[in-house]
Structure 1
Amino acid sequence: MRADARKNYSHLLEVARDVISEHGADASMRDIARRADVGLATVLRHFPTREALFEALLREHLDALTQKAAELEASSPPDEAFVSWFREGVAFVHSYNGVVALMASAHADPESALYASCAAVHSAGERLLLRAQAEGTARADMNGIDLFALMSALGWVVDQPSFAPRADYLFDFIAGAMLTNRSSKDVKKAT
């Protein structure tokens, strides 16, 4: 990619990140183009579909979540690694309003541009869960699908104004319920 094209691409991603943070996953490609001070054709040249734009925006964060799981797996006790990573995952889901539905559909569609990154994050999270289960510190009746359903639900809940003030409590409560012999107070101390 030429230097000027790379600069335009980076600028569009930066603007798209801001617009989507403000308006959620339903943000208009036209609004992104207007805010970036370019034509819609320029946006579509770089991102021919809405999913391509989200793939570019989310890939970096999804890859970072995958990497964080590997780091925690190598350096932390299973229960602490699991809860720390879960907290990061909830924060990521919360950072983009509406991203939950995109990620859920992408994970089920191997043709999706987001599929590989979503599958890697799911695999990393499930590995941390299985590790904690093997140590007896996470509930044995949970699976990776449950983990991501809870992560998605918490990301959505804390985005609702009436629940936002209780975001930390709700996280600690759910994390405590996922672990064995741990209360939400214990979770709070461990993370």
Structure 2
Amino acid sequence: MTGRRADARRNYALLLDVAKEAIAEHGPDASLEQMARTAGVGSATLRRHFPTRQALLEAVFREEVETLCARARDLTAHPDTRAALLEWLHAVTAAATTIRGLAVALARERALNADTAGAPCCSVQLTEAGDPLVRRAAGALTPGVTTDDLLTLVTGIALAAEHHPDPAAEAERLLGLAITGVSPQ
């Protein structure tokens, strides 16, 4: 982005801000054309910066995903490997439940298994960040459980809880049930 003209950098930042608001309000299927209009640019400008909806979603959620990845790295030093993994899964579940559109974006990425625009996908980044925690906690997990399995469960839980009167509480309850299945005490 540093090699872009100043107006292109401004358009990118403006489109990203508009997209964050639109996705928070309308979900991940918010109108791309409306986002471009709100930003005061043409849809071609939006497509130049974000060639696909998935590329836009990745940019919108990049900061949160990076925070979750950093949390996973911090937790690898935790002496209780099971507790460290569970703390990270709770953080991922909370983010996927409370940040509108994140769970759908992760589910789509996983279904497409696509790496758009050459940058690591959100789900790929989360899998790579969680792998060390899962490896360290392997003795406390049901044999064969992978980071990908756990992220699929978390994404499903967030999607299942989305329309519940208290999505965060329902997601925590469902995560507790899932944890009992994949890592019984």
Tell me, yes or no, if structure 1 residue 132 matches structure 2 residue 141.
no
Going from structure 1 to structure 2, the CA distance change for 1:6 and 1:104 (only over 3 Å counts) comes to same
Tell me, yes or no, if structure 1 residue 119 matches structure 2 residue 124.
yes
Q: Please say if residues 134 and 147 of structure 2, whose CA atoms lie closer than 8 Å, have aligned partners that are also in contact.
A: yes
Tell me, yes or no, if structure 1 residue 174 matches structure 2 residue 178.
yes
What runs of 5+ residues in structure 2 fail to find an aligned partner?
none
1:17 to 16, 20, 24: 20
Deviating runs (4+, > 4 A) in structure 1? Answer: none
The amino acid across from 2:109 in the alignment is M
Tell me, yes or no, if structure 1 residue 92 matches structure 2 residue 114.
no
Distance 1:85 1:28 in 2: 33
Q: Please say if residues 103 and 114 of structure 1, whose CA atoms lie closer than 8 Å, have aligned partners that are also in contact.
A: no
**SS across alignment from 1:154:** helix
TM-score, normalization by structure 2: 0.80
2:151 to 148, 151, 161: 148
2:49 to 46, 49, 56: 46
**SS across alignment from 2:46:** helix
Going from structure 1 to structure 2, the CA distance change for 1:144 and 1:75 (only over 3 Å counts) comes to closer
Which residue in the other structure is 1:6 paired with? 9
Distance 1:54 1:82 in 2: 26
Q: How far is 1:76 from its partner?
A: 5.0
Distance 2:79 2:70 in 1: 14
**SS across alignment from 1:146:** helix
Seq. identity, %: 32
Q: Please say if residues 33 and 40 of structure 1, whose CA atoms lie closer than 8 Å, have aligned partners that are also in contact.
A: yes
Structural RMSD (CA) = 2.4
What runs of 5+ residues in structure 1 fail to find an aligned partner?
182-191
TM-score, normalization by structure 1: 0.78
Distance 2:41 2:119 in 1: 29
User: Greater RCO between the two (CA within 8 Å, min separation 6)?
Assistant: 2
Which residue in the other structure is 1:68 paired with? 71
Q: How far is 1:150 from its partner?
A: 0.7
